[in-house]
């Protein structure tokens, strides 16, 4: 819902890891994505591990922070929303548990929310994909980090991950966070994996959880493989039914099928079909349809 309690929906794209491909965070690319895809939000994937914000050099840490700041400013100038994503993933030892970098997280979110405390277009995803942890670990972490954000930004939406790579809404429903406004729970899916829409239906219809799909793809969770169009259609039908916002992975030209730009393409701001892989072309069509935008011959 928006500030007037009317239905509102976000649809967007996530960057790839900012330590690897920060060049896609630029005004022309964001503007073209807004105009051609019809998206209204960008997710800035700031990895904590894999040489990222918490595990890399001090120089890399500053570069990633500066890239996030740049992304926020560009999105703001374009009248778009932006998600600041604390992208813990579990590849590095300890990075599977949000508590591992709790100190660094609190310092980061205090700094970024203080710098942008007058903005109303920023959402904060405080843990990307916890894995091999309990919901209690995630909840404990959230109860430490949320007050830090709230100290500077009273109303910003905070997106909370959960176990099993942000797919365990059942655990959340049994023991949700209490005492905070504007909290949503994330859910991630990849259409060619053995995942089913019943988890979302249960969360929305019976558990009454506010859900945001902050990452999804049409292929395997590995980012590779063919698109499963039948599964994607089922997922999007459910998201449409419950007015659920969604972000797709990812803004990149690497060789996986989840990277929307053609492999190795140097054209970082060309979002025409000729510069996109199948996933990018399909997702462009899907977002334009959801947003009620004209679908020309190129978008069909």
Written as six digits, the tokens of 171 are 């655990």
The torsion of the CA quartet 43, 46, 48, 51, rounded to 10 degrees, works out to 140
Strand pairing class (122-125; 211-217): unpaired
**Are 53 and 46 within 8 A, CB to CB?**
yes
Active site residue 129: yes
Cα angle at 157 between 156 and 161, to 5 degrees?
A: 140
Annotated catalytic residue: which of 125, 129, 143, 205? Answer: 129
Annotated catalytic residue: which of 27, 31, 115, 215? Answer: 215
d(CA 49, CA 86): 10
Residue 56: other Cβ atoms inside 10 A: 17
Q: What is the DSSP letter of 44?
A: E
For residue 32, the SS3 value is helix
d(CA 55, CA 63): 13
Active site residue 215: yes
d(CA 40, CA 107): 28
- Residues labelled as active-site residues: 129, 215
């Amino acid at each position: 819902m928006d500030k007037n309690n009317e239905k509102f929906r976000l649809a967007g794209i996530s960057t790839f890891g900012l330590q690897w491909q920060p060049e896609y965070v630029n005004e022309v690319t964001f503007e073209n994505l807004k105009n051609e895809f019809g998206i209204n939000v960008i997710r800035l994937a700031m990895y904590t591990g894999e040489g990222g914000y918490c595990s890399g050099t001090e120089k890399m840490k500053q570069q990633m922070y500066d890239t996030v700041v740049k992304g926020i400013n560009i999105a703001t100038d374009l009248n778009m929303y932006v998600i600041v994503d604390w992208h813990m993933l579990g590849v590095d030892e300890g990075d599977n548990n949000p508590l591992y970098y709790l100190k660094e997280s609190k310092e980061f979110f205090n700094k970024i929310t203080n710098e942008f405390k007058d903005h109303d277009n920023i959402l904060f995803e405080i843990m990307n994909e916890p894995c091999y942890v309990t919901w209690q670990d995630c909840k404990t972490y959230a109860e430490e980090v949320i007050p830090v954000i709230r100290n500077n930004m009273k109303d910003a939406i905070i997106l909370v991950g959960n176990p099993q790579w942000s797919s365990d809404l059942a655990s959340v429903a049994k023991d949700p966070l209490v005492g905070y406004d504007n909290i949503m729970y994330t859910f991630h899916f990849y259409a060619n994996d053995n995942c089913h829409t019943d988890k979302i239906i249960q969360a929305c219809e019976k558990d009454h959880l506010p859900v945001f799909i902050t990452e999804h793809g049409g292929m395997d969770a590995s980012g590779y493989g063919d698109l499963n169009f039948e599964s994607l259609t089922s997922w999007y039908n459910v998201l449409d039914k419950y007015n659920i916002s969604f972000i797709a992975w990812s803004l990149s030209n690497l060789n996986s099928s989840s990277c929307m730009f053609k492999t190795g393409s140097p054209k970082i701001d060309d979002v025409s079909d000729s510069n996109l892989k199948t996933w990018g072309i399909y997702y462009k069509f899907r977002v334009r349809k959801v947003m009620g935008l004209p679908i020309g011959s190129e978008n069909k």
